[in-house]
Amino acid sequence: MTTPSHTYIQNRERIQPGQTNNYDTAHGGTVMRLMDEVGAMSAMRLAGETCVTARVDGLNFERPIPRGDIAVVESWAYDTGRTSVRVRLTVDREDPRTGGCERTSESSFVFVAVDEAGTPVPVPELTVESERDEELRRRGLDGGP
């Protein structure tokens, strides 16, 4: 059985000059790519199969991530359909010198599990076994931090 805690992933990437725009902050597409990659890892951890992006729900960019800061991407599965996995994602900017963080982006993505031929396949149900699982599931469903 797979729980939200089992699918939780946190990844960090320092924003480099080639990932920035004219304002010397991370391109929105760079942030979205990081979210998509980490979100797919959470979905695959639940599904046990390759997962592809099917939908992005309301991706918000609240503030920029300056060059040299760290993008901290958190991801976890919070719901499933027959072949789909709903994943909540948050992005914080982290100052590498102080460790100070602030939220920059958040969204929910829907991934679909597929076989080698690209045909959708069933995914297991998500199980809630702990208080942390319940909290992650609630945060996913409510869309809150």
The DSSP secondary-structure symbol of 20 reads B
**Alpha carbon distances (Å) from 90 to 10, 23, 35, 122, 128:** 10, 22, 8, 26, 21
Task: Tell me, yes or no, whether 93 lies in a domain.
Answer: yes
Total domains in the fold of the chain = 1
- Of 72, 83, 88, the C-alpha closest to 120 is 83
Task: Tell me, yes or no, whether 35 lies in a domain.
Answer: yes
Task: Tell me, yes or no, whether 79 lies in a domain.
Answer: yes
Task: Tell me, yes or no, whether 145 lies in a domain.
Answer: no
| 0.75 exceeded by pTM | yes
Q: Residue 60 sits in a domain of what CATH number?
A: 3.10.129.10
pLDDT digits (tens, 9 = 90+) for 111-131: 999 999 999 999 999 999 999
51/121 Cα distance (integer angstroms): 10
Lookup: tokens for 58: 């309301």
Helix (H) or strand (E) run with residue 103 in it: strand 101-114
pLDDT digits (tens, 9 = 90+) for 62-89: 999 999 999 999 999 999 999 999 999 9
Task: Tell me, yes or no, whether 128 lies in a domain.
Answer: yes
**Domain boundaries, position 128:** 4-140
Task: Tell me, yes or no, whether 10 lies in a domain.
Answer: yes
Whether the CB-CB separation of 43 and 55 falls below 8 Å is answered with no
For the cut 90, the answer to whether the pLDDT of residue 5 exceeds it is yes
